[in-house]
Structure 1
Amino acid sequence: MTVNYKTYFDSLKEQHLDELKELLTIPSISALSVHKPDIAKAASWIADALTRAGLEHVKIHQTEGHPIIYADHLHAPGQPTVLIYGHYDVQPVDPLNLWDTPPFEPSIRDGKLYARGATDDKGQMFLHIKAIEAILKEEGTLPVNVKFVIEGEEEISSPHLPGFLDQHQEELSTDVILISDTSLFEKGRPAISTGLRGLCSLEVSVHTANTDLHSGTFGGGVPNALHAIVSLLASLHDDQGRIAVEGFYKGVPDLTQEMHEEFEKQQFNEESLRQDLSLDSLYGEEGYSFVERTGARPTLELNGVYGGFQGEGSKTVIPKEAHAKITCRLVGHQDPQDMLDKIEAHLCAHLQAGAKLEVKQMERANAFIIDPSNPYLQKAADAYETVYGTRALFTKDGGSIPIVETFTRVLSAPVVMMGFGLPDENLHAPNEHFNLENFDLGLLTIVEYLKSL
């Protein structure tokens, strides 16, 4: 039986968008405990949507954190099993004043759906539910066996999902893991990520005197916490943009000529990016292009630096403390714990006299890499070509999805990252949105991929 899925999805587009908008109104912010009831509401909404779509054994698994939802449809003997992963939690919305419309009041403008979670990851995860629903309604059965695992803690590094995977290894056994939480390379040019950077993070505090001091009475004679932390943070990079922490590049693979050529195939326009961001120039480690710096090289970034008086006007004070938040993106075989220990040792060695240091080590996640010649990835590239008219590029992404490496290691299955977002859709930022062109094409691509297996 030949089904025209484009006609099917076109006829139900408004209904599907109304359903997605309903999900997007739920402020399921996993990082903020005040939203725990909203997390539970979103989990229940997803479970109901999976049930309505025709999935079986739908269950909300409670954890010590936020719930994990499981569902399956296992009626294709002899065919591959596909485990589909997504997440229903979202990032905080600050700063609220930079949103053009309220983050949890979805609105469509210029062919884009605006709301927190529209592209990361409620919108993309929703595509899989509707694609499965379409095949079941139109054909009565699925061409493959399907399992869903949808969690509510991805935005806080999935602290409870690894334990869930370990405990349910047999139940979750699969031939391939399918994830839509990444982006096309650019409009009309699909991409499949074959690498994600790992992650580690830390908070740094510098303390000096036991109280803030008057800068006239004490200035020039006592240590200043802001001076100390600025000096300390400046020591983390050299003048060529390299990270100056001893041993930081241990485990980082050299980029071969062949790898340089693969990045060049992306034909990334650095000048266009510079203009779009209103920058005088791009910046980074010397000797590498933008896509190499962001896809295949490690980083150490300051995410926040604060201390002292920050109100309106002037206050002549010498602050007693100052703070910084740091994240590193890791590649190759860099060990997150080893990197954290090396950074802490560097900070201790470069601390200004008279200052005391406090370091809080936080997130840790390994980098992920997969061979693009894997048949499941090749079929995904074919599915994109059928729907988009151009075959997917195999890329390496600068971001981190910590659970991807865990999935492939624990379940011993390849991960296919079939994303439908765009790089400029403001994920994690105000005015997050999802281009509805890729909503339409994404549904068709997922159907095409599942049927091709």
Structure 2
Amino acid sequence: MNAYLDREDVRDRNIKELIEFLRMPTVSARGEMKPMQDAAHWLMKRLQGLGAETQLLDSTGFPIVYGEIKGDSDKSVLFYNHYDVQPVEPLEAWSSDPFEPQIRDGILFGRGADDNKGSLISRIHAVEAILKERGSLPVTVKFLFEGEEESGSASLPATVEKYRDLLRADACIWENARRDDAGNPTTTLGNKGMFSFELRVRTASADSHSGKANIYPNAIWRLVTALSSMKAADGSIAIDGLMDAVGDLTEAEAEICRNTPANGPQQARKLGLETLLPGNDDFAVNKALFYTPSLNIQGIEGGYTGPGHKTVNPSTALARLECRLVKNQDPDEVERMIQKHLASRGYDDIEVVSQKAGAWPSYTAPDDPFVKTVAGAAAKVYDKDIVILPSSPGTGPRFIFRYQPQMPIAALGVGHANSRAHAPDENVAVEDQHLTTKHVAQILRDWAEAGA
């Protein structure tokens, strides 16, 4: 079934090609166009070698690569990945040059090995393997490779909107996932949305002497009292209306919350805690992570925090916050709810300033037929069950495909629990690279037959 990918010469060649890819310094944060163009053209040439029809999609930023290979059935799968990587600093913390990959004890070290070049190239190698074995693909595959994910995917939404018909598919394999602490393969089916904002307070035209704090208002006190109105004593969000769209769990969702190991005590110990906020019970932790919105204060600015004391009564204060959203929540609606909540409590002088375009939550049902195909293929390749995670606690650009809500999206990747994505000594296990490639190939075969 995976005889081609199991050949030693193929395994070696695939790793050598990944190393070649990892040598490209595609750090999107640097803003340098040439390495990004070089990588995009390298990818286009590679896809063309598979027989794909390719093009660079119109974009206001770094190149966005598209490729398509027609399959034997009416079904189609879209691969979304990114070829940009995180900055490598601090360089002195790396054991070797981040752009001169090394294999040590079966582990491949290099920037982008996990996030996201290893996963990207696994899609290409999986498709190539099927073409070598049978001469054609059982399903149509579409490749979408962008170069700005690590910088916020600023250009991607407009590009996807322009090419929405070209990018339609029956299912999507998303960019990345990792083995968990127990070594089990995982897939994530969504991302939380996010609304990032500032609360800005000005209580007077200038700071005043703190001896007059009984007659002049203090901006920091006003800010913290406003903030305290946004959460209840038990830590739940108290913003009027914000929780209304959060529905009850389906039976499939509840089952995942019950059966997915959350490792609550271990997570607590990592940060020197005895218990997590929702408790250490698997169900409570998973429900909080996957299906409950959060409101987080990132930081507060105001007043004097230098050495010693300054007897000042601050006239300005600022708080930066983000609200992570779950299915059925809209970041634009959340912004209006926050403004209304503050105004109704007498804080209409506090300015709510959105920091960037909101991100919508994305969601695929855990009992979707494509998810079952992903799980079944994993059992064949890994000889163990895949752990299905309904959502990543983080936020990503999956929501750009909300115009085709019927398209299930499942994330797969080459990493493991200690792959150190975004950190020095980023790495993947060579064997995991091969297994992910085999998993992707198996999904394409099985998806063609599912429901046939």
Band the TM-score falls in, shorter-chain normalisation: 0.7 to 0.9
Aligned residue for 1:61? 57
* 2:237 corresponding residue in structure 1: 243
Q: Look up the equivalent residue of 1:234 and give its one-letter code.
A: S
Distance change in 2, residues 1:257/1:142 (3 Å): closer
> In the superposition, relative to structure 1, how do residues 71 and 256 fare at CA in structure 2: closer, same or farther (>3 Å)?
closer
Question: 1:21 is matched with which residue?
Answer: 22
Letter in 2 for 1:54: L
Partner Cα separation in structure 2 for residue 432 and residue 302 of structure 1:
29
1:199 and 1:336 in contact (8 A); partners too = yes
Query: Contact (CA 8 Å) 2:186, 2:412: kept in 1 or not?
Result: yes
Aligned to 2:122: 127
Secondary structure of 2:194's match?
strand
Cα distance in 1 for partners of 2:212, 2:428 equals 54
Question: 1:248-263 residue pairs with structure 2 within 5 A?
Answer: 248-255=242-249, 259-263=253-257
| % identical aligned pairs | 29
Alignment of 1:322-333 (within 5 A): 322-333=317-328
Measured at CA, do residues 208 and 88 of structure 1 come closer, stay the same or move farther in structure 2, by a change above 3 Å?
A: farther
Is 2:74 aligned against 1:73?
no
- Distance change in 2, residues 1:310/1:68 (3 Å): farther
Offset at residue 109 of structure 1 (A)? 5.8
What secondary structure does 1:72 align onto? strand
Normalising by the residue count of structure 1, what TM-score does the alignment of the two structures yield?
0.83
Change (3 A) 1:81 1:332: closer
Q: Pick the aligned partner of 1:272 from 262, 266, 270.
A: 266
CA separation of 1:424 and 1:340: change in aligned 2, threshold 3 A? farther
Matching residue of 2:148: 153
1:371 aligned partner: 365
Relative to structure 1, is the Cα distance of residues 100 and 347 closer, same or farther in structure 2, using a 3 angstrom cutoff? farther
Query: 3-state DSSP class of the match of 2:236?
Result: coil
Q: Tell me how far apart the structure 2 counterparts of residues 104 and 320 of structure 1 sit (CA, whole Å).
A: 47
Q: Does 1:43 align with 2:40?
A: yes
C-alpha distance in 2 between matches for 1:205 and 1:69: 41
Q: How far, CA to CA, are the matches of 2:153 and 2:345 in structure 1?
A: 34
Cα 1:66/1:11, change in 2 over 3 Å: closer
CA contact (8 A) 1:120 1:427 kept: yes
User: What SS class does the counterpart of residue 132 from structure 1 fall into?
Assistant: helix
1:439 corresponds to which letter in structure 2?
Q
Q: How many residues are paired up?
A: 443
Given the alignment of the two structures, is residue 85 of structure 1 paired with residue 86 of structure 2, yes or no? no
**Equivalence for 2:386:** 392
The DSSP-based 3-state class of the residue aligned with 1:63 is coil
1:12 counterpart residue number: 13
Q: Distance in 2 between matches of 1:35 and 1:321?
A: 38
Whether the aligned pair in 1 keeps the contact of 2:72 and 2:136 (CA below 8 Å) is no
Q: Which moved more, 1:106-115 or 1:58-67?
A: 106-115
**Relative to 1, partners in 2 of residues 1:440 and 1:78: Cα closer, same or farther, differing over 3 Å?**
closer
In structure 2, how many angstroms separate the alpha carbons of the residues matched to 1:12 and 1:277?
42
Q: 1:280 to 1:407 in 2, by over 3 A?
A: same
- CA displacement, residues 67-89 of structure 1 (integer Å, 9 cap, x when unaligned): 31111222x33353222111223
In the superposition, relative to structure 1, how do residues 13 and 386 fare at CA in structure 2: closer, same or farther (>3 Å)? same
In structure 2, C-alpha distance between the alignment counterparts of 1:84 and 1:417, rounded to whole Å: 10
Q: 1:382 to 1:257 in 2, by over 3 A?
A: closer
Distance 1:162 1:43 in 2: 19
Which residue of structure 2 aligns with residue 383 of structure 1?
377
CA distance, structure 2, for counterparts of residue 352 and residue 102 of structure 1: 54
Segment of structure 1 superposing worse, 113-122 or 103-112: 103-112
Equivalent in 336, 343, 350 of residue 341 of structure 1: 336
Contact 2:296 / 2:321 at 8 angstroms: preserved in 1? yes
Shift of 1:333: 1.3
- Does 2:199 match 1:194? no
In the TM superposition, residue 345 of structure 1 has moved relative to its aligned partner by 2.7
Q: CA deviation at 1:415?
A: 2.3
Q: Against the structure 1 CA distance between its residues 167 and 42, is the aligned structure 2 distance closer, same or farther, given a 3 Å change threshold?
A: same
- Normalising by structure 2, report the TM-score: 0.83
Q: Which runs of 5+ in 2 are unaligned?
A: none
Q: 1:234 deviation in Å?
A: 3.2
Question: Does 2:199 align with 1:176?
Answer: no
